[in-house]
Amino acid sequence: MMKIGNIYQQAKSEKRPVISLEIFPPKRPTGIETIFQTIDKLTAKPDFISVTYGAAGNTLRENKTLEIASRIKQDYGIEALHHLTAIMNSREEICRIIAEIKAAGIENILALRGDIPKGACDFPEDFQYAKDLIAEIARSNQFSIGAACYPEGHIDQKANRENIKHLLEKEQQGANFFISQLFFDNQAFYDLLDESRKARINVPIAAGIMPIMSVSQVEKMIFFGASLPVDLIKLIHRYQDTPEDLQKAGLEYSINQIDELIENGASGIHVYTMNRPIIANTIMDRYKAK
């Protein structure tokens, strides 16, 4: 088994991109088995699978992240990336969670700030930013640490220069690789790479891709701050009344994005599957199956 930072190094020597998938703990217990049924049917293994941390304030046991990540690694031999959020957790709680992750054999953590729940007014402030959590995790020298980056800037940031400044700070605190927020215009990702390299940010930066699968999903994209290119808007309009055609067209749009990113040397492609088997299977069939 291998830490994700080393996976990127190996993939670079092999002149190939790292292909990874993201899933989230289902709200219903039966949904967990659906995740593993999807993994069972994959024709090829992704380089790693990331598991989101769930709602802010939930305990590690409540959101099932560690259980799912452990099974991915132990039962399927696939490296797991355990998400962990800083907001709403005290230093003591973070140290306990990190210890549990390590005890379960997980060697990779995606360190995120997280969002403050609406109405929350009394919560721990030991970790105000992702960089603070990264520094805490890095102290143990036991994990490969991932962090988030934003091709179009974080929705709370006023200027793009803040975006690059924060990336550099995360790397300096111990981030080994970055995974980008979703985007639909590849030029935004290329611009991020260019600005990052100018700032001497040298760790791998993976492109985060989320296929459009429904009209209702588009509203969430706006919430995340992702802009929609004209071609994609026209595609959504064309198929908005035929859900199956929209799914097919949305997945095809993402595949075209990925093809171009790989052709232009992207070090990693991270696909937000939304727990949909069709996304996981299509991506693995195309980019990993031999």
CA atoms of 43 and 27, how far apart (whole Å): 27
Residue 183, token pair as written in the block:
């985007």
CA atoms of 100 and 66, how far apart (whole Å): 8
CA atoms of 150 and 147, how far apart (whole Å): 10
Closest CA to 52 of 251, 274, 204, 207: 274
Other beta carbons less than 10 A from residue 251's beta carbon:
18
50 membership: H or E segment, kind and range = strand 48-51
Catalytic residue among 14, 22, 260, 263: 22
CA neighbours closer than 13 Å in the CB half-sphere of residue 221: 23
Q: Catalytic annotation on 22?
A: yes
Kindly list the catalytic residues: 22
